[in-house]
A and B are shown apart, each in its own frame.
Chain A
Amino acid sequence: MALNVLRYLSFRNASALWVMVAIVLYFSYSIPETFLAARTWKSLLDAQAIVAITAIALVVPLSAGVFNLAIGAQVGVASIMIGWLLVPAGLPILVSVLVTLVASAAIGFLISVLIVGFRIDSFIATLGASSLLLAFVTFISGGRQILKMPRALVDFGTDRIFGLTYPFLVMLAIAIAVWYVLERTPLGRRIYATGGSLEAARLSGIHVVAIVVGAMTASGLLTGIAGALMTARLGNADPTIGPAFMLPAFTAAFLGSTQFHHGRFNVPGTVLSVYVLAAGVKGLQLSGVPTWVTDGFDGAALLIAVGLASAARSGSAKSLWRRFLRPRRTTLQIEAERPRPVGT
């Protein structure tokens, strides 16, 4: 048992955890009075909750083999939609939330119809959908923020129990639920199988169309929750925030896929990655580094983690270099097709 826990937490299996430890140790030493303040950590946990929900919403379709580039725009639509329903339309909170969640799930469903019904590659389908959704956001908001959210909503976005905000607790609940489905149920197994090989999954009797549609619909629902919470936290609906979620979500999902499951997209790794990156960026900000360093940190972390993981899968770093320096012989066939003189 103890051995299993140790193996689970080993550097090979969970390098991000150890990077987190290194980050905490370093900044605790260099800037102890600001980095170790409880305030810093409370705001960190809270501020990243919505990024984490968005990243989880991305893990679901990625696991099913769908590349959802619309994830940021979906959050943006939900965020502006709940603001519009509450203030200009003046609907009650419960109705607005329900309508937003149903509409968000419906958007995910419609995108999946583009993918499985019209057979558009998920990369293209979600790219196009993303642009359409952004146009829709500007259309209903007129490009302006929607201010003066109702008190009750703002309270939900900012109140704390035991020092933790509601958005953070909602994120935890979602993380546990999605983790359970993906890793403990037959449905999760089928989602991963579909993402692994569409044809092999189909020939194993898996209804791959239902899996893709379901994954995108669930992803849509989760972006609805993320968008509604975003508006609740800010106290207003901002038409520009959506796209800003895409990059951190992808970074966390891919970085997370190198953790715990050796290349499989997963929830614990993704949530951990969100917070490791945020802690690093926070420490750098508090140290007073120029602003460009923080962007560089995210990018470098992703490239290094994914690069090392794929090198580990394809052999040693040494063999990786060798492959670069001396390209492997191409296939027999290409070799054979080249006319060559006889008798050499």
Chain B
Amino acid sequence: MTEPVLTVEDLSVRIAGLHILQGVSFTVAPTGVTVLLGRNGVGKTTTLRAVVGLTPRGGEVHGRVRMGDQSLLERPTHRLVRGGLGYVPEDRCVFAGLTVAENLRLAERRGTTAAYDRVFALFPELDRRSRQRAGSLSGGQQQMLAIGRVLLNDNRLLLVDEPTKGLAPKVVTEVAEVLKRVAESVPVLLVEQNLAVVRRLARDAVVLAAGRVAWTGDAQELLSATALTRSLLGVGSAEGHHHGSGTEPGASASTAGPAREDAR
């Protein structure tokens, strides 16, 4: 087997006295999309944030996280990102008061035009709206911007947190399509609730439950085993309490989460 791009070993995170992660271990393959699954509040976002060094103040992190031969946990976030760890946060977090162009300019490091061409080829909308304030973009456009600014630089691994959350079904498809193309050149660790998107993108899956890894393996295999998805993710259960995955795993992106509106 090829060396994993990211190795997480025995990762524990405690925030404000709550043991959110209790010894999580998994690896991310050097190609394709690895998806991190689990019910709401299980620690998926906490995992990504711990990897990129953004655990909130007062939180304790233990364990080992390696990207290649590099140990990540002791290093400040900006060094990690400069070392090739791209991070697309939950809720997009574009700078609402800055223009699209400024949002991109902030992210650029060597700023070659080639990188801009690559991003604008993926997201022509960003080029057209470059003078518009990011806060006035639609949720889907903001998501494109959040992904686009990370792609301005070369990354060894992308961490992407719930990119389709709160987006209209049509936009969900677009975002998924973009991520699929991105994943052809750089490995992605994805947190995603929409199982249709997961089915479309993911090769490997890691399922968290109660702060621990409950299952790892082939994503498609997981999704085709209905009983397994039901027990691990609560999918298809009568409660239907967690958002965006109330439909059967086989549902297509266009019908997933019909109640969800575009954020803007």
Query: A and B bound?
Result: no
